[in-house]
Chains A and B, each alone.
Chain A
């Protein structure tokens, strides 16, 4: 049929002449996290100029600490979002896990580590139930996790009240195993006179692991696929349901980790805390370049999104502004970052 056409075909050149050489800048701008990096630099420079205390290494250490508490959760939330789902219960899950561990070991007077393990099981169960309902019913995860969010919030407050007659969990610092658990989950160390919490290191490690999973493993390929177009993924044999449940459980795992960090840092947990943080995690992921519709994004981007949040959170204090304005500025700056992000991504796409 095409025998005549085959004769004059030249051997393919080593480098394709149809691809223009992209400048390193254009290649950087094509990455999902490019907008977030640009936004982070703008915000850093902004506070660096207007808030002198912001320039100290120790203040930056506390910026990093605040960032890590958001960033730990923003990482699995970003993976989940790339996988095409939301988890609105992510904020209260942290509190639920911490309360579960703390109340269990206090009530039964066990070693603190027993509570830690019970909390791990409970947090993974929350993730599993969220994922299972979403996968089995096909109801949007926004609604399913909105439901579990309120249920968990109710359990947190009501059970704490019933068990302790208070709005917070009792101090568990006298329990056996508490000090070793504190070293593991809420330790800190000093470098050059600057105190750094281990949660910052954990956060960075988890970001690296998440990025490696996303870009270099089969699971990562499947996460992009189930979020990008689930029917296609299913058609080529990707276990879509198991992937999604796994992602929800990853959020549960990190809720447990973050919860343990908070618990062993403060010895006690306020039963009503955590509400609203789910939005912070989602915003960090979106600012970091994750598409709300799934299938696109990066864990590094979410980390930078969390950093933007941490810088604004601390920067306002260092700038001497009334902290009551915090949320307004957060909203404003995040909106600006998202606009910048979108603008840069459009330009980058045009450059491709």
Chain B
């Protein structure tokens, strides 16, 4: 198999990062956002090291990783909440050092966090325009804002009953979509989505994925953080896999199949080991183990040697 082998979880670099493939230019040729060998330390704790990634216009870069893999730290660096302690952060080819999320926002980098940055008790339209209110002199232009909010949401395919209802009364998927369309409306060039599908059901997740595609079609660069390869693969153009704060691999879509991505995410070796252990138990556990083994074989990762010495 010519597939990228998962590197051991140690301080080994994935083969790709050092030589990220040159892409077709988007106007200036520089990607909207690029990190080169970026790292972050909190005192003695290394939260992130040697991360190289980029996203251009009309592209979706997916960041995949399990809990504690360093996804949040990565977002915080790109969103301007933290500065990288090493490496370079470039926006449209220019090195930047943001001291606040507002600065990142001024560069067109908008983040939709898991808590969505909405105020539950406030009406949808007030949330939509919060911080960017339309004004007529000292007054806010309420009819115009309600109409724009309704229209903008409709353009994204969200048909709300009433933009005057508190946003807390919407479903998780609807709220997510309001937050995304808000960022798009206010001129974001790069959209960072922090686990937008994590708390959603299958159908709602599909709706959110549709908006990610729509945002891309409108010319935005999207950084999509998730731990679900099945959500990432259909929408992503490139994939950064994180494990314990370092890069496990950075792939163009053409370089990796869905099965390989899933295998890498699931930690194929660990899964296989687990299946063997379960089969040794006998009874129901053995049954589960056999199913798991089939799964592993199906994903095309069964030939992977089980040399990994996991600490856990």
Binding site for B on A (CB under 8 A): 1-2, 12, 16, 18-19, 216-218, 221-222, 224-225, 228-229, 231-233, 235-238, 291, 295-296, 352
Contact = CB atoms under 8 A, between A and B. Distances in A.
A225 B105 CA distance: 19
B138 A232 contact: no
Interface string B106-127: 0000010101111111100010
B130 A236 contact: yes
Interface of B: 101-102, 105, 111, 113, 115-122, 126, 129-133, 135, 138-140, 142, 154, 159, 161-162, 165, 210, 213
Contacts of B142: 216
B175 to A, nearest CB: 11
A16 B165 CA distance: 14
Given A233-B119, A235-B117, A224 B138 contact: no
Contacts of B161: 16, 18-19
State the majority secondary structure of interface residues on B. loop
Given A12-B154, A16-B161, A218-B135, A1 B122 contact: no
B202 to A, nearest CB: 15
A235 B140 contact: no
Contacts of B138: 217
B162 A295 contact: no
Given A18-B161, A217-B139, A218-B140, A233 B120 contact: no
Given A224-B126, A228-B122, 11 more contacts: A2-B210, A12-B154, A19-B162, A225-B119, A225-B122, A229-B118, A231-B115, A232-B115, A235-B111, A236-B130, A296-B121
A278 B167 CA distance: 33
Contact of A232 (B118, B154, B162): B118
> Which one of A217, A235, A296 has the greatest number of beta carbons of chain B within 10 Å?
A235
6 contacts: A216-B140, A225-B122, A228-B119, A229-B118, A233-B119, A236-B130
Contact of A237 (B118, B131, B162): B131
A214 to B, nearest CB: 11
A12 B154 CA distance: 10
A232 B210 contact: no
A218 B130 CA distance: 8
Nearest to B112: A235
A211 to B, nearest CB: 13
Contacts of A216: 139-140, 142
> Which one of B102, B122, B138 has the greatest number of beta carbons of chain A within 10 Å?
B122
A217 B140 contact: yes
Given A216-B140, A237-B131, A231 B213 contact: no
A115 B103 CA distance: 44
B139 A232 contact: no
A231 B130 contact: no
A2 B135 CA distance: 37
Contacts of A19: 161-162
Contact of B133 (A221, A291, A296): A221
Contacts of A228: 119-122
A12 B153 CA distance: 13
A127 to B, nearest CB: 22
Contact of B113 (A1, A235, A352): A235
Nearest to A6: B157
Contact of B140 (A1, A221, A233, A296): A221
A235 B119 CA distance: 11
A36 to B, nearest CB: 18
Given A229-B118, A295-B119, A238 B131 contact: yes
Contacts of B132: 236-237
A232 B119 contact: yes
Contacts of A221: 122, 126, 129-130, 133, 140
